[in-house]
Amino acid sequence: MSSNANNKNELLMTDAIEAEHHVEDLLEKFDKEEGNKRKLIGKVGLIITLMAIAMSIFHLYTSAFGTLLAVKQRALHLVFTVALGFLIYPFSKKASKNKIPFYDYILCALGVTVFGYLIINFQGIVAKGGQADSIDLIFGSLAILLILEVTRRSVGPELPIVAIIFLIYASKLGPNFPGLLAHRGYSFERIISHMYLTTEGILGTPVGVSATFVFMFILFGAFLDKTGVGGFFIDLAYALTGSLSSGPAMTAVVASGFMGSISGSSVANTVTTGAFTIPLMKKVGYKPYFAGAVEATASTGGQIMPPVMGAAAFIMAEFTGIPYVKIIASAAIPAILYYMAVGTMVHLEAKKLGLKGLPKSELPKLGSVMKSQGYLLIPLVTIVFFLIKGYTPLYSAFWSIIISVVIATIASLIKKDGSFNVKAFIDALEQGAKSSISVAAACATAGIVVGVVTLTGLGLNIANMIVTLAGGKLFLTLLFTMIASIILGMGLPTTAKYIVLATMAVPALTTLNVNLMAAHLFILYFGVVADITPPVALAAYAGSGIAGANAMKTGFQAVKLALAAFVVPYIFAYNPALLLIKKGTIIENGVIQYATFLEILPVIFTAILGIICLASAVENYLITESKFYERIPMLGASLALLYPEMISDIIGIVVLAFVIISQTMRKKKLNKKAASLA
C-alpha cells in the first residue's frame, strides 16, 4: 500500500519537474525579458544577488521615508538597472549564460559612472542651467548608447531601433521632410543635453514612474509569488469553476485573470498557469489549438484588469493627471466584459462539443481552499483599500508588501511548513529587482522617443496628420490609431508602446472630443491585444507550445476569443458610460464627472447581453447550433447592445429574444425527435 503511494508521489514529482522544465524552455523561446537571462552561481552570482537586494531595499526605503529629488531618484534607479542589466543579460542568445565576459564588466562600470555622475555632480549641472560641457556630452552620449544596448538585450531590438530612428529624425532627417513632419533640425549638443541633463529625455516621466510606483508593484508581485498566491489562485479557480461543463477552460480564464491582474507579462502568465490548465483542457476534450488560445487570451487580459494593470496604468496617471484609483475604477467594467466574453465563448464551445466538467471528487473544495489559503488575499484587499482611501500607489504598495510578509510569516509558523522564511524573503527582494530591469530599460528608451517628440513638436504634427488623413471622421481616426497600436504592439513591450502612442496618437483622439480617459484606454487595449494578434502573437505562440498545436491557428483562435477587446474600446470612445463617466465630460486637472447609478446600471446590463450575443455569433451557438439567419443578426445585436443608447438597446434585445425563442423551439423538436428514436 505504502509502496503504491510512494510510486504515485514519485510520478507526480517527475511530472512537476518535467512541467517546470517545459515552462523554462517556453519562457526562453517566447519571453524576451525572462528567457535570455544568465544563470550565474558562485561569487559572481552572489554579487549580483546582493546588488539586486540593494536595489529593492533602496526602493523600499524611499517609498517609506520619501523619495530623493527627481533627478537623483531616477538616476540611481538607472545605475542599478544598467549595472544589473549588463551582468544578467548576455550580448546574444548564443553567448554563454554561465559566465560574464570582460566587456560586460566594463559596460557595467560605465553605466554606474555616467548615471552616478548625475547624482554626484547634481549641483554643478543645475548651476550650468542645462548647458552641456565636454564631459556632459561624452557622458550623455555614453548614457544613450548604454540604455539602447541594455534595452536591446533585455527587451529586444525593436524599441532601440525606433529610438534610433527618432534620434536621426531630430538631428538629420527633420529638415528634409516636407509639410507637417519638417522641423529646423537640432545640433548634436542640443540633443544630448536634452536627453541626458533634463527630465524630458532618458530621465523623463516614464523612468520617474518606473523608479517609484512601477518598481514597488513589481516587488509586491514578487512577494505575492513567494507567499504561494499563484497556487492559491489556481486552486480557487478550480473550486469555483472546475465542475462546470466548460471545466478546466473556465478555470484557465479565472486563474489567468487573477494572476494577470498582478503580473506584467502576457507570455510569462501564459506558460506558468498554462502548464496546469492546458493539459487538463485537452484531457476533457478541447482541441489543442483552442486550449492554447484560451490560456493566451485570458493571460493577456490581465494587463487591462484592475487593480494593478501593469506599469502602463501608473504612467497613464502621470500623463493624464488622473488619480490612479480613478483609472482602475474606469477600467473595471471593460475588463470584466472582456473576461465575460472569453468565459462565455469557452462555455458555449463546451456545450457545443457536449463536454463535461471535472468530477467534484477531483476538485478542491472552496471552503477548504479559503480556510487553508484565504489569508493570501489579505495583501490584495489591503492594496485596494489603501487606494480607495486615497493613499498614493507608492504608499499602498509599501504597506501591502509589509503586510504580505507578516501574514506569510505567521502562516508559515502556524503551519510549521517553512513555506515562507528568510530565504523566501531574500528571494523576493532579488526577484523583484531582476524583474524590473526590462521595464526600467524600456521606460528609459521610451523616454528618448518622448524627448524627441517634445523637442521637435512631432506629437502635435502626427495628431494633425491622423485627423487630416481621416478627413476629420472619428471612426477612421480610431481605426488608424488601432492599426498603429497593434503594429507597434507587435514589437514593443506594453509599457513602451503605451508611452509612444500616448505621446503621438492620443492628441488626435482628444482633438475629435474623445474623452481623455477613453483615449488613453483605447490605445492601451490595442497595444495589449497585439500579444495575441498574428503574425507576431507571442502569448498565443507560447500557448501553442504547451498545447502542441499549430501556432498560427492558435493565434487566430485567440483573436476570436478576444473579439470583445476589439469592439469595446470603440464603444467607450464614442460613449464613456462604460468607463462610468458621464457623456460629454471634459476631464480637467484629474476631475471627472461620473454618471449616476441609474445611468450606469442599464449600460452594464445591456453590455452583458451584448457580450452574450457576441459570444454566440462567434461560437455559432446559444441554446443549440445557430442557423445563418440567426448568427449574423446576433453579431449586429451585440454591437447594438454594447453601444449605450436606448434605441440600439431595444433593437438588440428584440433580436436576442427572437434567437432565444427560435432556438428553444428548435431544441425542443430535436429532443422530442431523439426521444422518439430512443
Say whether both 292 and 394 belong to one domain.
yes
Say whether both 660 and 580 belong to one domain.
no
4 found inside a domain: no
> Quick check: 307 and 260 in contact, CB under 8 A?
no
262 found inside a domain: yes
pLDDT-derived band of residue 263, with 50, 70 and 90 as boundaries?
A: low
Please tell me the predicted confidence (pLDDT) of residue 139: 96
CA atoms within 13 A on the CB side of 276: 22
Please tell me the predicted confidence (pLDDT) of residue 587: 74
pLDDT-derived band of residue 483, with 50, 70 and 90 as boundaries?
A: confident
Sign of CA dihedral 173, 175, 176, 177: positive
In the chain, the percentage of residues whose pLDDT exceeds 90 is 39
Q: Is the pLDDT of residue 14 over 50?
A: no
Residue of higher predicted confidence among 93 and 297? 297
Report the C-alpha gap between 128 and 144 in whole angstroms.
Answer: 21
Beta bridge partners of 439: none
Say whether both 95 and 161 belong to one domain.
yes
Last residue of a domain, one of 595, 626, 644: 595
Q: Is the pLDDT of residue 669 over 80?
A: yes
472 found inside a domain: yes
Mean pLDDT computed over 163-184: 87
Say whether both 638 and 573 belong to one domain.
no
pLDDT-derived band of residue 393, with 50, 70 and 90 as boundaries?
A: confident
Residue range 559-608, pLDDT digits in tens: 999 998 899 999 899 888 889 888 777 776 667 888 888 888 888 899 99
> Quick check: 494 and 486 in contact, CB under 8 A?
no
Residue range 592-601, pLDDT digits in tens: 888 888 888 8
Spatial CA neighbour of 492 closest among 458, 536, 460:
536
Write out the residue range of the structural domain in which residue 633 sits.
597-678
24 found inside a domain: no
C-alpha cell at 133: 560641457
Say whether both 446 and 366 belong to one domain.
yes
3 found inside a domain: no
Give the range with max mean pLDDT: 79-93, 244-258, 296-310: 79-93
Say whether both 40 and 179 belong to one domain.
yes
Mean pLDDT computed over 3-23: 46
Say whether both 290 and 160 belong to one domain.
yes
Say whether both 501 and 612 belong to one domain.
no
Please tell me the predicted confidence (pLDDT) of residue 30: 59
Q: Which residue has the cell 470583445?
A: 564
Say whether both 466 and 343 belong to one domain.
yes
Last residue of a domain, one of 595, 610, 640: 595
86 found inside a domain: yes
Please tell me the predicted confidence (pLDDT) of residue 25: 61
Q: For residue 648, how many other CB atoms are within 10 A of its CB?
A: 18
Q: Is the pLDDT of residue 1 over 60?
A: no
Residue ranges of the alpha helices (H) in 321-392?
Answer: 324-353, 366-373, 378-388
Mean pLDDT computed over 119-125: 91
Last residue of a domain, one of 595, 630, 645: 595
* Crossing angle for the helix pair 516-528 and 324-353, to the nearest 10 degrees: 40
**3-class SS at 565?**
helix
Say whether both 581 and 601 belong to one domain.
no
247 found inside a domain: yes
Say whether both 275 and 330 belong to one domain.
yes
**3-class SS at 358?**
coil
Spatial CA neighbour of 57 closest among 400, 307, 432, 336:
432
Q: Looking at the 3D structure of the chain, how many domains does it have?
A: 2
Say whether both 591 and 601 belong to one domain.
no
Residue range 314-343, pLDDT digits in tens: 888 888 888 888 898 899 999 999 999 999
Residue range 45-73, pLDDT digits in tens: 999 999 999 999 999 999 999 899 999 99
515 found inside a domain: yes
Residue range 154-168, pLDDT digits in tens: 988 888 999 999 999
What CA–CA distances, in Å, run from 446 to 116, 139, 315, 451, 471?
21, 19, 12, 8, 30
